[in-house]
């Protein structure tokens, strides 16, 4: 292992082990992509407002969570045939998640140049804090939803 940078050596070892194959069948994904991602919301009204007004998603479904009849399951169309969903758990308290192994770090969404530019207009109009990596024409913008979930919108 590279003694000067063991992290880089580990990255190279992972690439060699898992990306070095030549079998075309091994390269084919076993799924068709994301149907929906599910996060937990402490306040569905605030969540729906944020995702529809700031990220311009559309609420498409509101149903009972089949695993917990006190919980509501909402679906938002995030484009590209993909959905973002949320549960609330009103009977389970509102303790925030602690970042750790198995937790999701952030959700990264892609945007066209026109969508990306329009996002900045909405962020500024609503006074939403964000961090920009790149420019308002291309790069990534990071923001937090009402429950502090980190959302990235990227435009390349």
CATH of residue 73's domain is: 3.10.180.10
Tokens 């306040």 belong to: 43
**Residue 40 pLDDT:** 92
Distance, in Å, from the CA atom of 98 to the CA atom of 81, rounded to the nearest integer, reads 30
Cα end-to-end span (Å), the chain:
34
Stretch 11-39: mean pLDDT = 81
**Residue 25 within a domain:** no
Structural domain tally of the chain? 1
**Residue 24 pLDDT:** 56
**Residue 103 pLDDT:** 81
Which value, to the nearest 10 degrees, does the dihedral of the CA atoms of residues 127, 131, 134, 137 take? -20
The string of pLDDT tens digits covering residues 83-120 is 999 999 988 877 777 778 888 889 999 999 999 999 99
Distance, in Å, from the CA atom of 155 to the CA atom of 153, rounded to the nearest integer, reads 7
Which of the four pLDDT bands, split at 50, 70 and 90, describes residue 156?
confident
**Residue 21 within a domain:** no
**Residue 113 within a domain:** yes
Distances in Å between the Cα of 74 and the Cα atoms of 9, 82, 92, 145, 147 are: 43, 14, 18, 16, 15
The string of pLDDT tens digits covering residues 2-14 is 568 899 999 999 9
**Residue 101 pLDDT:** 81
Which value, to the nearest 10 degrees, does the dihedral of the CA atoms of residues 47, 111, 107, 77 take? 50
- Whether residue 1 has pLDDT greater than 60: no
Distances in Å between the Cα of 7 and the Cα atoms of 12, 13, 15, 37 are: 9, 10, 13, 30
**Residue 6 within a domain:** no
**Residue 60 within a domain:** yes
How many CB atoms within 10 Å of residue 145? Answer: 19
CB 38 within 8 A of CB 86: yes
**Residue 131 within a domain:** yes
The string of pLDDT tens digits covering residues 112-134 is 999 999 999 999 999 999 999 99
- Whether residue 25 has pLDDT greater than 60: no
**Residue 1 within a domain:** no
**Residue 10 within a domain:** no
Range of the domain at 39: 32-93+105-155
- Whether residue 35 has pLDDT greater than 80: yes
Stretch 51-73: mean pLDDT = 95
């Amino acid at each position: 292992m590279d003694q000067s940078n063991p992290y880089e050596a580990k990255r190279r070892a992972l690439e060699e082990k898992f990306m070095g194959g030549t079998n075309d069948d091994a390269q084919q994904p076993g799924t068709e992509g994301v149907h929906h991602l599910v996060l937990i919301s402490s306040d569905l009204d605030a969540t729906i407002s944020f995702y529809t007004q700031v990220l311009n998603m559309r609420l498409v479904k509101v149903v009972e969570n089949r695993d917990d009849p006190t919980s509501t399951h909402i679906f938002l169309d995030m484009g590209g045939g993909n959905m973002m969903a949320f549960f609330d758990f009103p009977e389970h308290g509102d303790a925030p998640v602690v970042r750790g192994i198995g937790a999701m770090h952030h959700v990264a969404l892609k945007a066209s140049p026109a969508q990306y530019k329009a996002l900045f207009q909405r962020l500024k109009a609503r006074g939403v804090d964000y961090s920009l990596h790149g420019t308002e024409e291309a790069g990534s913008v990071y923001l937090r939803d009402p429950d502090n979930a980190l959302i990235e919108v990227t435009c390349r």
